Amino acid sequence: MQPLIWEHRPSGLRAPAMVCAFQGWNDAGDAASTAVSFMSTALGARRFAQVDTEEFYDLQANRPRISIDEDNKREIEWPCVEMFAASVPRAPRDLVFVQGVEPSLRWRTFSGLIVELAEALGVQMVITLGALLADVPHTRPVAMTGFASDPKLLENLGASNPGRYEGPTGIVGVLHGISSEAGLPSMSLWASIPHYVAAAPSPKAALALVRRLESVVGVSVDASDLESASANYERQVGLAVASDPDVQAFVERLEQDAESEEEPLGPEDLPSGDLIAKEFQRFLRQRGGEGPKGPS
């Protein structure tokens, strides 16, 4: 079986850009995957292909799930990567979306497959989205980092600073690199998530990625639902932070550093992860909820 399973071949795509995000290591606060899913849904994108699960997943690490449908029939939901296409007549280009779970195996082969797909569809640029945990306060605008295969593309990203990260990477970094090697213009945009809210989905960061992506590709969507979820996120996180004096003092330090652009706090200044997790769990139990979430 071929690893790429076509359902139909989209035709007539105009100067398409391919936007990719993957759940997992590259996706703190589910921000990148939420941003791509939100834009895909908002633009009425249609699925046209998917990647065969057997080729790229360790199913003991990314286990399938059992669900019950409306007819009370059990179904198996496999981890996967899906491709969607959206025509946007009033915009300068159409979009192709690649979204799903970060693969476990054969990353070079997987990335080469995505690049071949992009070339077959006449994609003019590949944009990967990611989100990372950082020492940033939830009360400030989302800090963005970007990098690109070409300096001119980096200018279009409008990120607050160019990424200079060195170290371990995920499928987003590998795909960006292989796209560049293949001669496909590529860029990557990352949102920073407050590390003290690591366990909660971040619609605020997803909204920031959507807005920045809009400016890059020239496509706009109605993000009012995501804006409402973002406001609710800030409100709930603010209440949770206020419930613990130590965490509140730490957030105030982050705010001061953001204003003065001082050196970031060192590990000795951070409340313990156990303390933060304990306080958020206590707060959420009292509220009777599961935490701030974005649109599903």
Predicted pLDDT of residue 261: 60
When mean pLDDT is compared across 129-138, 171-180, 275-284, the lowest value belongs to 275-284
Predicted pLDDT of residue 251: 85
Q: Does the pLDDT at position 165 exceed 80?
A: no
Provide DSSP, 45-90: -EEEEEE-HHHH--TTTS--EEEE-TTS-EEEE---EEEEEE--TT
Paired tokens of 24:
């997992």
Q: Does the pLDDT at position 167 exceed 90?
A: no
Who wins on pLDDT, 179 or 153?
Answer: 179
Give the strand order in the sheet containing 125-134: 4-6, 46-51, 81-86, 95-101, 17-23, 125-134, 186-194, 144-148, 161-162
Rounded (5°) CA angle 13-32-96: 10
pLDDT band, residue 266 (cuts 50/70/90)? very low
The pLDDT tens digits for 221-242 are: 999 999 999 999 999 988 888 8
The pLDDT tens digits for 197-208 are: 888 899 999 999
CA 201, distance to chain mean position in Å, is 11
In three-state secondary structure terms, 252 is helix
Who wins on pLDDT, 23 or 267?
Answer: 23
Half-sphere CA count of 259, side-chain side, radius 13 A: 7
Residue 276: exposure state from Cβ atoms within 10 A (0-12, 13-18, ≥19): buried
Amino acid at 105: L
Domain ranges of the chain: 4-222, 227-287
The pLDDT tens digits for 63-107 are: 888 988 888 889 888 888 999 999 999 899 999 999 999 999 999
Percent over 70 (pLDDT), the chain: 82
pLDDT band, residue 164 (cuts 50/70/90)? low
pLDDT band, residue 271 (cuts 50/70/90)? very low
Q: Does the pLDDT at position 49 exceed 50?
A: yes
Predicted pLDDT of residue 264: 45
Q: Parallel, antiparallel, or unpaired for β 144-148 and 81-86?
A: unpaired
CATH topology of domain 4-222: Rossmann fold (3.40.50)
Task: Give the global pTM.
Answer: 0.83
Mean pLDDT of 258-280: 50
Contact call for residues 210 and 33 (beta carbons, < 8 A)? no
Helix (H) or strand (E) holding 191: strand 186-194
The backbone torsions φ and ψ at residue 44, rounded to the nearest 5 degrees and listed phi first, read: 65, 35
From residue 119, alpha-carbon distances to 2, 88, 182 in Å are 17, 20, 10
The pLDDT tens digits for 174-221 are: 999 999 999 999 999 999 999 888 888 999 999 999 999 999 999 999
Predicted pLDDT of residue 287: 46
